[in-house]
Amino acid sequence: MKIGFIGLGNMGGPMAANLVAAGHSVTGFDLAAPMPEGVVRAASAAEAAREAEVVITMLPNGQILRAVAAEIIPAMSAGAVLCDCSTADVENTRAVAAEAEAAGLMALDAPVSGGTGGASAGTLTFMVGGAEAAYSKVLPLFDIMGRKAVHCGDSGAGQAAKTCNNMILGATMIVTCEAFALAERLGLAADKLYDVASTSSGNSWTMSAYTPVPGVGAQSPADNDYTPGFAAELMLKDLRLALEAARSTDTDTAMGTLAATLYARFVEEEDGRGRDFSAMLPRLRAKGRD
């Protein structure tokens, strides 16, 4: 398949490399990131999109998505699929889908879960919104870049799923870190809490698969001085998207709101920027009650 790929940073680069390794022809564009081996460099986003059967975007936010879409939609061939894998707000996502469909294209929103490790290993989960025909066309590519794709519904449903999922993740990571910090002050060894909680009612993905304690449980960024697999500032971005969605739908999300407040403090007032979102644990170890 002939693929255009726009946004080849920490996530997009490995995803594009996996497509090349599977035998697809990939033309890429990024303002700063290097081209993965085998990806043909384009001089512009429009050039990367021209004649592609599928154009994949992996961009920082919805505003940049809108700007890139305005450039590439006129260059794309009728019937092609614009598949956005960015994490963006539902409003901008649906606006881009409408623009694409008006130009005779198909559109998907397909944000991912799994972080940079999942992008490299090809084990991402794709949460997909858009028409069934577009999903069926891109599914073989999802199968290369990830281990699971879920068709969540119409345009915007993928972003809605990502927003809700990451609100759960952010709040769960905080309480997991709080439990380990409390255990330490109670004199309970971290490995003993892990052995109990990971096999009982306290278990969660943050406990068993992304353990925030160095040397305990699953191998995770905690074992690499909290070098990001998923940066705290990206978690803050996702929690703010959840807050925006909650306001627009008049939904009470007290725990999600508190999680956003705590990550905002960690990233913007403390030393959280550039660290993994699980570095909330050393933060909690170093402080007392507010």
**pLDDT tens digits, 68-113:** 999 999 999 999 999 999 999 999 999 999 999 999 999 999 999 9
Q: Is there a contact between 13 and 5 (Cβ–Cβ < 8 Å)? A: no
Q: Which of 154, 183, 211 is the last residue of a domain?
A: 154
Using left for φ > 0, alpha for ψ between -120 and 50, and beta otherwise, residue 23 falls in: left
- Reply yes or no on whether 162 is catalytic: yes
Whether residue 251 sits in one domain with residue 279: yes
The DSSP secondary-structure symbol of 227 reads -
CATH (domain of 184): 1.10.1040.10
Q: Which of 92, 122, 154 is the last residue of a domain?
A: 154
Whether residue 184 sits in one domain with residue 127: no
Q: Is there a contact between 280 and 174 (Cβ–Cβ < 8 Å)? A: yes
Whether residue 19 sits in one domain with residue 74: yes
Whether residue 194 sits in one domain with residue 118: no
Per-residue pLDDT of the chain (290 residues; tens, 9 = 90+): 999 999 999 999 999 999 999 999 999 999 999 999 999 999 999 999 999 999 999 999 999 999 999 999 999 999 999 999 999 999 999 999 999 999 999 999 999 998 888 999 999 999 999 999 999 999 999 999 999 999 999 999 999 999 999 999 999 999 999 999 999 999 999 999 999 999 999 999 999 999 999 999 999 999 999 999 899 999 999 999 999 999 999 999 999 999 999 999 999 999 999 999 999 999 999 887 76
Whether residue 213 sits in one domain with residue 85: no
Set 137, 148, 162, 287: catalytic member: 162
Whether residue 74 sits in one domain with residue 201: no
Cβ-based neighbour number of residue 40 at 10 Å: 15
Whether residue 141 sits in one domain with residue 38: yes
Whether residue 23 sits in one domain with residue 108: yes
Whether residue 252 sits in one domain with residue 112: no
CATH (domain of 141): 3.40.50.720
Q: Name the domain count of the chain.
A: 2
User: How far apart (Å, rounded) are the C-alpha atoms in residues 232 and 144?
Assistant: 28
Cα torsion through 55, 65, 34, 231, rounded to 10: -120
Cα torsion through 5, 10, 11, 13, rounded to 10: 40
Whether residue 21 sits in one domain with residue 125: yes
Q: Which of 119, 134, 154 is the last residue of a domain?
A: 154
Full residue range of the structural domain in which residue 64 is found: 2-154
User: How far apart (Å, rounded) are the C-alpha atoms in residues 69 and 49?
Assistant: 10
Whether residue 121 sits in one domain with residue 23: yes
Whether residue 170 sits in one domain with residue 99: no
Using left for φ > 0, alpha for ψ between -120 and 50, and beta otherwise, residue 230 falls in: beta
